[in-house]
Amino acid sequence: MNPDRGPGIEADDSPYPPARYAWYVVGVLTLANASAFIDRQILGLLVAPIRRDLAIGDAEIGTLYGLAFAAFYTLLGLPIARTADHGSRRAIIGVGIGVWSAMTILSGFTTNYRELVFARFGVAIGEAALTAPAASLLADYFPASRRATALSVYTLGIFLGAGLANLVGGAVIERLGDDATVVLPLVGSIRAWQAVFVIVGAPGLVIAALMATVREPRRREVGAAGATGHTLRELLTYLRDNRRTFVFHSLGYALFALVNYATAAWLPTYLIRSYGWSAGKAGITLGALTVTVGVAGVVAGGRLADALLARGRTDAKVRVGVIAALANLVFGLAYALAPTAELAVAALVPYNFFASFAFGAAVAAVQEIVPNRMRAQASALYMTVITLLGLGLGPSAVGLLTERVFGDDSAVRYSLAIITVVGLAASAGLLAFTLAPYRRSVAYRAAWMNAISDSSGRR
């Protein structure tokens, strides 16, 4: 038996693209993912100057960071994914990168809350074209035995981007001060926080051009007559037959993501308000942790998932999620309630490692339990739940708790502690419930692919 397949896992025995080029594609897509999360996460470091200049509160910041982005991201995610399942995935990704980069730059020229919300809508529209098509693309570049590692490297772009957002933003704010003005050629004077948006958005335009060097791979497992399409009824039937897996998996990782997004949005503010740090110091410290420990965590999680799969653990990609959620339940509570900044940073080291540990495997899990013809749409459904629940509610919940429940800016640490405990306890429980249904879904897909292969042979 081919170890890359398992019974019926791959219906196409032709060689995959050369490994060197496949990893080059991973590199380009990882840069794109990092760019996306720099542009998405940069708001977390700019809370104080944006609040001051736009005269808004924590609740509006939470909405700006979460719901304003999540609404358009999810609205367009599924239509874009359906197009990706039938058309050129690399072209869709390239256009998306250009759109979100341009809208991030535009964020640097906004002068009121409404304009900034509009710009964030544009960032969301562009980023909706990335992860679902990219996951589908990479699944055609790598066999099942290496897929979790490849998608983990792609996913590390999330944590690399989040870290660089803090590092770059922190360095600019530390050098200029958050109330400084910057003079740009052909533009004139803008605030330091506005300059940060321009600086982090510009490199994305170069990455968009790099997508022209990525080849669209031949689709695998395309079924009878090489057709890549499928009816909506076929997709809904497949999802219905595996509903326990999809529901538990998506909700479990969405709650984990809710805690991650809440932490990313408010951790710089927590350090500033709790320990009197400057925004620059908070950004540089958190950025350094994320681009080192966080990046190491996502790669380690993917390698562990592939190693467990090689030992016959077909639920490996979910199992690493349970491990990560339980670990960060402890370390998240430890940093939030730490009496000193030194203890908080010490707890944030393992917290960053396990915050990223499972998410490459989580994306690979979706690819493992659906056939090629449905992968982008299944990924989009997963990202819809992750974004609506995780990004849509996480940052907003912390802002609302701090402002409306505690009524005290310094209570942000308790808001983070509550979200961490509730979110990660529920995540660990749901992912534990997913293990058995996930194993059944792996077998279901094998049987489904064998049936398609038999049908094609008879024709």
The domain that contains 281 carries what CATH number?
1.20.1250.20
Phi, psi of 190 (to 5 degrees): -135, 165
Phi-psi region of 105 (alpha: psi -120 to 50; beta: other; left: phi over 0): alpha
pLDDT digits (tens, 9 = 90+) for 152-162: 889 888 888 88
What pLDDT sits at residue 234? Answer: 80
Tell whether the model's pLDDT for residue 226 goes beyond 50.
no
**Residue 459 domain flag:** no
- pLDDT tens digits along 228-262: 455 667 878 899 999 999 999 999 999 999 999 89
pLDDT of residue 9: 38
Q: Which two tokens stand for residue 400?
A: 């609302």
Which of 135-139, 317-321, 385-389 has maximum average pLDDT? 317-321
pLDDT value of position 3: 36
Calculate the dihedral angle through the C-alpha atoms of 276, 280, 286, 287, rounding to the nearest 10 degrees.
180
Model pLDDT, residue 6: 38
Q: Does some domain include residue 277? A: yes
Structural domain total, the chain: 1
Q: pLDDT for 369-411, tens place per residue?
A: 988 778 778 888 888 899 889 888 898 899 899 999 999 999 9
The pLDDT tens digits of the residues spanning 345-367 come to 999 999 999 999 998 888 889 88
Residue 311 lies in a domain: yes
The CA distance from 236 to 5, in Å, is 25
Pull the structure tokens for residue 443.
Answer: 């077998």
Tokens of 272: 């500033």
Identify whether 112 is part of a domain.
Answer: yes
Least reliable range by pLDDT among 53-67, 242-256, 330-344, 443-457: 443-457
pLDDT more than 70, % of the chain: 92
For residues 427 and 383, give the distance between their C-alpha atoms in angstroms, rounded to a whole number. 16
Q: For tokens 């940093």, what's the residue? A: 335
Q: Does residue 150 surpass a pLDDT of 90?
A: no
* Those residues with Cβ within 8 angstroms of residue 9's Cβ, 6 or more apart along the chain or in another chain: 144, 442, 445, 446, 449
Encoding tokens for residue 232? 């909506």
What mean pLDDT value characterizes the chain? Answer: 87
Query: Which residues lie below 8 Å from residue 30, measured CB to CB, with a gap of 6+?
Result: 153, 154, 156, 157, 160
Flag whether 439 is in a domain: yes
Per-residue pLDDT at 179 exceeds 90: no
Question: Residue 253 is part of which domain span?
Answer: 19-214+230-449
For residue 358, the SS3 value is coil
Q: Is residue 246 part of a domain?
A: yes
Helix (H) or strand (E) holding 191: strand 188-191
Q: Are 96 and 126 in contact (CB under 8 A)?
A: yes
Task: Give domain status of residue 14, yes or no.
Answer: no
Distance in angstroms (rounded) separating the CA atoms of residues 70 and 53: 24
* Confidence tier at 458 by pLDDT (50, 70, 90): low
Q: What is the pLDDT of residues 15-52, one digit of tens each?
A: 888 999 999 999 999 999 999 989 888 887 788 889 98
- Tokens for 459, please give them: 């024709």
Element (H, E) at 282: helix 279-289
